[in-house]
Structure 1
Amino acid sequence: MAIFLKAKWEQLIMANYAVDPAVLAPYLPAGVNIDLFEGKAYVSLVGFLFKDTKLFNIPIPCFGTFEEINLRFYVSRVENGKLKRGVVFINETIPYPIVAWVANKLYKEHYTVVETKHKMERGNNEQTIKYEWLLNKKWNRIAVRANTEAKQMEKGYLQQFIFEHYYGYTKANDTHIEEYRLQHPSWLVNNVIDYDIDCDFSQMYGNAFANLTHAEPDTVFLAEGSAVAIEWKRHKLAL
């Protein structure tokens, strides 16, 4: 199986909000179902560092390391008796137009381009991680203070549900969706002590998510991340 993209995803902050499934319906590709945890649908505001990016194993000079901010939700489908759990991206934000163009052109994703930055500080027992993005002349942010000790995530809990969706789904056209697989090991996680989120959800993601601007997330997680690979072959599924 050819690998389209290789990279390191590091220090993934995920702020998770329970939402009415009806809010997600306009973004749901046909052929997949909203994946629920204990009867609830979730969206996640995610910030992480994209490092050492390679396309078809070729490094991208000057554009290989950058911040990404995305909003995603969770879906599933059954194929030949096998449950496939995946994500749908409402929007993905990065700082480089050329990288966004390639992703949108080849993968029909939903990348937009804004200025981004990050700050990381690490002590013996604690670390702080902050991602920021410039929207309408105002810096939005997602940040955590967390322990440095990494541990295996607990099975059967929301944390595992959020992190372990290994497929991506996107609408190709009116008659097909596309499925691709993400390869990475189960991530180690860090205990989050405190968090700070300032995101204008309505400006960033539309009025459907406006109520999240002043809402407290149900949970905030931090994962250390790993090397990842995205397979080139995408399965086009007829609706």
Structure 2
Amino acid sequence: MDMRLAGQRVLVTGASQGIGEGLSRSFAREGCHLSLVARSAEKLHALAEELRSSHNVEVDVLALDMTRPGAIADIVAWAGHADILVNNAGAIPGGTLWDVDEDAWRKGWELKVFGYINLTRSMYLEMKTRGRGVILNNIGNGGQNFDFNYIAGTTGNAALMAFTCALGGRSLDDGIRVVGVNPGPVATERIAKVLKSHAAHLLGDEARCAELLARYPLGRPATVEEVADLFVYLASPRSNYTTGTIVTVDGGITSKRSVS
């Protein structure tokens, strides 16, 4: 299916690994030109060279720490012309209220929660001037499944869900769509580390992480491509009536809850 995205410019944050890398690949396959942001210049340049060669698209990269003062303004000055923004940078630490101290909590929210909000604030105005644009927020199903052991993340994700819906409820007035995606567990290096940590804590041996995988739908996490391709559809004109909502892709984990 042609997503009618060829030639559009996509700005992806946290683009050098994991879901961000998968997003870059999926949009490149559609013929999109890319503006990729992450901390690692080495990873960004390697990915950019591969995508230029494989898909004949323009790929610009900007290596920076999005939490430093002035970083958001630098990104907008560099790629404010993008048609599509995908907020993806950041990972909030796991742990209980007493495991995650104030400093760690603030650092996690500075990149993911306030990073999303601040970049959206600036990019929205650029898009409003043109009368069109799409903003996609990669959030996470922890915002729907309140978790004592992931309290900073579950609270931050819930806040981003509310932010997305509140902004997207009015954004079509300005020709802009704002949509959130809530992935569940996804097969990345990060989830592998989390599973090993959980296995060590719950089962006494990190090597038993495969036993935790068996509890997931289909006995596995989602693939990066399964998640990234959903973003491509939501960014496309084929999804022009979708805004102010959250799409959950977690194999039914969120819907599986029961009172019995």
TM value normalised by structure 1: 0.26
Quick check: which one's helix share is greater?
A: 2
Identify which of structures 1 and 2 has the higher relative contact order when contacts are C-alpha pairs closer than 8 Å and 6+ apart. 1
